Amino acid sequence: MTTALPQRDDSAVVRFCGDSGDGIQLVGNRFSHEAVRSGNDVATFPDFPAEIRAPAGSTAGVSAFQLQFGTDRVYTHGDQADVLVAMNPAALKTNFARLKDGGVLIVDSDAFTRKALAQAKYDDDPLKAINASRARVIPISMSALILEAMRESDAKRRDILRSRNFFALGVVYFMFGRDCDDIIEWINTKFVSDPLAMTINRQAFMTGYAYAETLELIAWKVPAAVQDNSTPQRTITGNEALSLGLIAAARLADLDLVFGCYPITPASDILHSLARERDDDIVTFQAEDEIAAITSAIGASYAGALGVTATSGPGMALKSEALGLAVSLELPLVVINVQRAGPSTGMPTRTEQSDLDMALFGRSGEAPLPVIAPRSPADCFHAVIEAARIAIERMTPVILLSDAALANGAEPWCPPDLAALQPIRPGFAKSQLNGENNNTAFHPYARDDRLVRPWAIPGTEGAQHCIGGLEKSAIDGAISYDGDNHQVMTDMRLDKINRIRHDVRSFDFLGHQNEKDLTARCGQLLLVSWGSTFGAVRRAVLEAINRRLAIGHLHLSWLNPLGEGIERILNSFEKVIVPEHNQGQMTRRLRCEYLVDAKVLPLMKGRPFSHAEITSTIRSTIG
């Protein structure tokens, strides 16, 4: 099966869409996997509704999966699709705008019945109205073709028709010259317990592939980057990377991991994957509510494990009292917030970055804590290890801000050499017992030069103590309502967090000049990103640098404390723009910390920025 395809040293964007029950996420993931396997870089964006199965054929029930794959680095899942596969009229209706002008539209024409058109609220057949310059429409009678291909089969008509997604996958495989061996092998393994489904899906896939070959439906081949030994063989989603990173962190610290969690979209997959990894040092606990999820994790940390909880915005709101307790107790704790569109229930499956203010300030009293944000799905692995390292070594709760786009999106991943990672060192208090002379009082709030207190876990002889949410006397930890002491403790808690900035890599910079060569106002425009906006901003800035613009990109990994050196970078540019999925939370932070006239570029549409949106801002600002 070697068909000569035109090679483009480039990338392609494919978007699959259909009913929630059509298996769109499955084929999207398989196609991504194949792209990675064959050496492309990939970024994916699953885009699905919160409802499990809205009525079939309705626009509310449309599920989509978009990916960009490329020879070189791919930073985003792509702005608009080169190829759009729409399995029914509702999918076409909700996704057609995502197809670029002149792109290829593949539809299952058998699904465009009068009833289905009416359900999607189309008056006429929309396919007829698409003119040739807008899109090249390829209607394929998918249902009829697979029924025909399997007419000898004993399988029920309904079961055969459920394999339409594999037919469509076969078509797209051919279009991009993908090798079929791996997907066939995968189908054989995946459906090993259901031989009928195995046969149907395999046959549907091959029928689609052969049909595309017959029609010579050729897109282009996206060649692999020059093969070297660093070619990743797997993809990883943000939520998977967080789960694996947590296990790695616990083992680097030689601690048990106790993960307390209450189900919430889009964080639940972390619980699912950790529950599968339960081991004698990995404990998962599905708590009765968000508060029990975090308080059980606090209890676990008090007893000497790495306590972790994960949630999304509404759950984060419920946890805020307990977070304040963790700040007061000065115990290790990792709190993951996979942000989604809010306020309140908002749009549970859609992405947003609007919990930054809550992470930084959303507690009663002065309750500072470190906040870190991963920039890509794979970066979640390292970010959560860093979060755990700071939590354990600095005795503090740490918030990790992920988001729905990172959580479900995937990218290729090279597993790290775990043995080469720096071990995490808990500062456990030592047993204080000296025979009968056990009179040396243990001081739970005595601090070292980093202002870190000892982690005295139950079971440690001679270190018995009681701590709580009441203000504590500095050093001995006894209850204290003394005003001078409260001032000291408040300052100490802040200073302790601020000192972390000396020991972490809290940002990185890329610009028309190296960071060390920056001078005041030497550049025209600085774009600042944090979290998942990294990809779109990085790509747009790279293009602008190639156009010889005096531009820079500052990406913040630690959002609290902010790193030293940020101020100099901000002052090296005439203008500062912060694209973020909120109304300016990081922008306000930079303005207030550094007195810089930063402007926000807000996007609150439940989807990530496209690089075109960033590029157009760059153009309108500095040309």
Q: Identify residues 481-540 at the interface with other proteins (CB under 8 A).
A: 510, 534, 538
Region binding other proteins by CB under 8 A among candidate stretches 211-219, 292-300, 347-355, 594-602: 292-300
Binding string, residues 177-216; x marks residues near other proteins by CB under 8 A: ----------------------------------------
Could you write out the three-class secondary structure of 559-586?
A: EECCCCCHHHHHCCEEEEEEEECCCCHH
Q: How far is the CB of 443 from other proteins (least distance, A)?
A: 12
Could you give the 3-state DSSP secondary structure of residue 552?
strand
- # chain residues binding other proteins, by CB under 8 A: 92
Among 33, 382, 589, 607, binds other proteins (CB under 8 A): 382
Does 375 sit near other proteins (CB under 8 A)? Answer: yes
Q: How far is the CB of 493 from other proteins (least distance, A)?
A: 17
Of 193 and 229, CB closest to other proteins: 229
Q: Measure the N-to-C terminal CA separation of the chain; round to a whole number of Å.
A: 48
Considering only residues 255 through 274, tell me which ones interact with other proteins, judged by CB under 8 A: 256, 258, 260
Region binding other proteins by CB under 8 A among candidate stretches 19-27, 461-469, 568-576, 580-588: 461-469
Does 416 sit near other proteins (CB under 8 A)? Answer: yes
Does 426 sit near other proteins (CB under 8 A)? Answer: no
**What is the Cα Rg of the chain in Å?**
27
**What distance in Å separates the CA atoms of residue 322 and residue 369, rounded to the nearest whole number?**
13
CB 284 within 8 A of CB 274: yes
> Does residue 477 come out as left (phi exceeding 0), alpha (psi in the -120 to 50 range) or beta?
left
Structure-block tokens of residue 346: 């908002």
Of 133 and 546, CB closest to other proteins: 546
Residues in the chain: 623
Q: Report the candidate in 618, 470, 425 with the shortest Cα–Cα distance to residue 538.
A: 618
The reply to whether omega before 266 is within 30° of 0 (cis) is: yes
| Alpha-carbon separation of residue 464 from 11, 440, 576 (angstroms) | 62, 12, 52
**What distance in Å separates the CA atoms of residue 315 and residue 312, rounded to the nearest whole number?**
5
Give the helix/strand (H/E) hosting 42. Answer: strand 41-47
Q: What are phi and psi of 347, to 5 degrees?
A: -120, 95
Among 27, 84, 146, 298, binds other proteins (CB under 8 A): 298
Q: How far is the CB of 41 from other proteins (least distance, A)?
A: 6
CB 531 within 8 A of CB 375: yes
Of 144 and 446, CB closest to other proteins: 446
Does 440 sit near other proteins (CB under 8 A)? Answer: no
Q: How far is the CB of 73 from other proteins (least distance, A)?
A: 5
Among 101, 123, 152, 436, binds other proteins (CB under 8 A): 436
| Interacting residues of 180 by C-beta distance below 8 A, sequence separation 6+ | 1, 173, 205, 206, 209
Does 299 sit near other proteins (CB under 8 A)? Answer: yes
Structure-block tokens of residue 541: 């800035």
Looking up tokens 């494919």 gives 14
Considering only residues 34 through 93, tell me which ones interact with other proteins, judged by CB under 8 A: 41, 72-73
Does 478 sit near other proteins (CB under 8 A)? Answer: yes
Q: How far is the CB of 250 from other proteins (least distance, A)?
A: 9
**What distance in Å separates the CA atoms of residue 596 and residue 570, rounded to the nearest whole number?**
7
Q: In sequence order, what are the beta bridge partners of 260? A: 285, 309
Q: What are phi and psi of 322, to 5 degrees?
A: -65, -30
Does 303 sit near other proteins (CB under 8 A)? Answer: yes
Does 234 sit near other proteins (CB under 8 A)? Answer: yes
Longest dimension (CA), the chain: 93
Of 140 and 467, CB closest to other proteins: 467
Does 468 sit near other proteins (CB under 8 A)? Answer: yes
Region binding other proteins by CB under 8 A among candidate stretches 116-124, 162-170, 280-288, 576-584: 280-288
Does 300 sit near other proteins (CB under 8 A)? Answer: yes
Does 325 sit near other proteins (CB under 8 A)? Answer: yes
Of 278 and 502, CB closest to other proteins: 278
Of 189 and 230, CB closest to other proteins: 230
Does 21 sit near other proteins (CB under 8 A)? Answer: no
Q: How far is the CB of 149 from other proteins (least distance, A)?
A: 37
| Interacting residues of 118 by C-beta distance below 8 A, sequence separation 6+ | none
CB 281 within 8 A of CB 257: yes
Among 50, 180, 197, 287, binds other proteins (CB under 8 A): 287
Q: How far is the CB of 456 from other proteins (least distance, A)?
A: 8
Does 356 sit near other proteins (CB under 8 A)? Answer: no
**What distance in Å separates the CA atoms of residue 402 and residue 409, rounded to the nearest whole number?**
11
Considering only residues 539 through 568, tell me which ones interact with other proteins, judged by CB under 8 A: 542, 545-546
Q: Report the candidate in 60, 63, 68 with the shortest Cα–Cα distance to residue 41.
A: 68
Does 321 sit near other proteins (CB under 8 A)? Answer: yes
Region binding other proteins by CB under 8 A among candidate stretches 102-110, 176-184, 419-427, 590-598: 419-427
Does 365 sit near other proteins (CB under 8 A)? Answer: no
- Residue 614's CB is within 10 A of a number of other CB atoms, namely 28
Q: In sequence order, what are the beta bridge partners of 105? A: 84, 137
Q: How far is the CB of 379 from other proteins (least distance, A)?
A: 5
